Amino acid sequence: MGRHFPDDVDVAIVGSGPTGAAYARILSELRPDLRVAMFEVGPAVTDPPGAHVKSIADEDARADAQHRSEGPSSPAADGRLRRAGTFLLADGFQQADEDGIPSVAMSSNVGGMGAHWTCACPRPGDSERITFIPDLDDLLAEAVRLLGVSTDAFDDAPFAHEVRRRLATVFDEGRPAERRVQPMPLAVSVGDDGTVTWSGSDVVFGHVTRNNPRFTLHAEALVRRVLVEDGRVTGLQLIDRTDGTVHEVNAREVVVAADALRTPQLLWASGIRPVALGRYLNDQSQIIHAVRLRDVESTTASRLDPRGRTTVVRQSGVSWVPYTDAEPFHGQVMQLDASPVPLAPGDVPEPGSIVGLGWFCAKELSAEDRVTFDATETDGYGMPAMRVHYLLSEADHAVLDRARDSIKRAAAALGDPLDPEPRTLPLGASLHYQGTVRMGAVDDATTVCDPVSRVWGVDGLRVAGNGVIPTSTACNPTLTSVALAVAGARNIAESLPAARPMQEEVSR
């Protein structure tokens, strides 16, 4: 962490979420000669910086970290669904005669949304996959390494195998092995004493980044312009949010990894406005349901974790019903401790006996689904105000109907539903916004960047995050977006000429 801003760096990274952290990690491993600086608009809310808030043992400290992540103003008090640690778009989230995205939300803190996510890391399948990237599986494997993904962290949970067996009777027939019901890959580790540590950007940074003397992380630094001359990045302009001073940092490469809303916002504010910027915005409509498992024996094993809280997650684990083109939705089956939404409030008679189901639906892509920016009005950070244009198509409604039927069949196989019908959450509740700086094989006005995330027409500028994903997906996007960040970082490592020595080395 640093308060002094450098004058010159080789690579400047805007945003400290998992994809920005992936750039820092890969560059620290492959090009330790490069000077890399990261700038985050929010504060550091954990120690180490970028850790997942669920790993904070003290509940009051955890709540404070979440509150400090909630942006420049108080969350809207208008009844819209909001997850702790995030803040809602104050206005502009819905236009006349459109569905909008009422629960569209962001986080501002070191680690970004990686400090608050559910850590689910499924691989994309069928049409979710990006076909013009031939080494996608290698990149996904590297993302697994960086995020610390495990498929067996909760494999000893007493109800996990039974839950998957029951789900398999409904979904496995006719599916290839890799698309059958299976444990959900999770970015999590479980210690010998049962301590559960959820991965945040701190895990992605790793020791190699933290020990890199040429890497610096600057919190509470609002980057408001990417500087460009003659079609080439020269650096960025930022405001120190602790004292309001303005600074410029020269950089040979700039990576904007803010999020799927603020990355296009920064490009637009910088006068970088490709035709596809902000377009093809897509969210994953989410349906939830809850059941009580039938015919399972009570167990006293692993009911309490070292922090004294009920560890429901170790009772039924987290299972995955993968996306297929035939069934264009993706299912997460988890106990309530791992769910971002309180599915079954009230008494839970036996730990692990109440299971939450969440089905995520792929969206039909449209250039008209977009986020635009106002030339005169500003948001709480003084950046161009956002306006979301978003409409569910007939095909989207048809997928939602099929997903409701699917989740009801899953619930019936598992046990007794707690409510007669599943609940469809407000748009935006998934937090899986994608497409706004989408990647493509060619510059054809439907994409913003190339397969290694270089923005078309601006040398030295790259984008990162879920907004880069060009396909319609139902699976959680973080693993894919980190994989794409790996490709971009490797390309920088291969192509950027050797760095000049740091000033202190020259003086010696």
Per-residue model confidence (pLDDT) at position 503: 52
For 244, the domain range is 8-76+83-501
Does the pLDDT of residue 312 top 50, yes or no? no
What pLDDT score was predicted for residue 160? Answer: 81
pLDDT value of residue 335: 63
> Structural domain tally of the chain?
1
Mean pLDDT computed over 261-274: 98
Q: Which long-range contacts (CB under 8 A, 24 or more apart) does 174-182 make?
A: 175/322, 175/324, 178/123, 178/125, 178/322, 179/125, 179/126, 179/322, 179/323, 179/324, 180/322, 181/319, 181/320, 181/321, 181/322, 182/151, 182/319, 182/320, 182/322
What percent of the chain has pLDDT above 90?
80
Q: Output 472 or 345, whichever has higher pLDDT.
A: 472
Which pLDDT belongs to residue 191? 83
pLDDT score, position 317: 73
- Residue 406 falls within a domain, yes or no? yes
In a domain, 3, yes or no: no
pLDDT in tens, 98-155: 999 999 999 999 999 999 999 999 999 999 999 999 999 999 999 999 999 999 888 7
Model pLDDT for residues 414-463, shown as the tens digit of each residue: 999 988 999 999 999 999 999 999 999 999 999 999 999 999 999 999 99
Provide the pLDDT for residue 77: 58
pLDDT in tens, 18-70: 999 999 999 999 999 999 999 999 999 999 999 999 989 899 999 999 999 99
pLDDT confidence band for 194 (50 / 70 / 90) = confident
Task: Report yes or no on 221 lying in a domain.
Answer: yes
| pLDDT-based confidence at residue 506 (cuts at 50, 70, 90) | very low
Contacts of 220 (CB under 8 A, 6+ apart): 40, 41, 42, 43, 240, 241, 242
Distance CA(387)–CA(98), nearest Å, equals 12
pLDDT band, very low/low/confident/very high, at 348 (cuts 50, 70, 90): very low
Q: Is residue 42 part of a domain?
A: yes
**Residue range 357-372: average pLDDT?**
98
pLDDT score recorded for residue 340: 33
Give the range among 185-199, 250-264, 330-344, 396-410 with minimum mean pLDDT.
330-344
What pLDDT sits at residue 196? 84
CB 114 within 8 Å of CB 17? yes
**Regarding beta strands 186-190 and 196-198, do their DSSP bridges make them parallel or antiparallel, or are they unpaired?**
antiparallel
DSSP string of 120-140, one letter each residue = B-PPP-GGGS-TT-TTHHHHH
Residues noted as catalytic: 432
Residue 475 is assigned to a structural domain of this protein: yes
Q: What is the pLDDT of residue 303?
A: 45
Q: Which of the four pLDDT bands, split at 50, 70 and 90, describes residue 310?
A: very low
Tokens of 123: 């691989």
Residue 58's nearest CA partner among 331, 307, 368, 377 is 307
Q: Is the pLDDT of residue 483 over 60?
A: yes
Residue 299: pLDDT band by 50, 70, 90 thresholds? low
Mean pLDDT of the chain: 90
Q: Is the pLDDT of residue 345 over 60?
A: no
Task: Name, in order, each residue with C-beta under 8 angstroms of 122's C-beta and a sequence gap of 6 or more.
Answer: 184, 185, 320, 322, 330, 475, 476, 479
379 pLDDT band, cuts 50/70/90, is: very high
Would residue 365 count as lying in a domain? yes
Res. 2 pLDDT band, cuts 50 70 90: low
CATH code at position 151: 3.50.50.60
Is residue 2 one of the residues assigned to a domain?
no
pLDDT at 225 over 90: yes
- 506 located within any domain: no
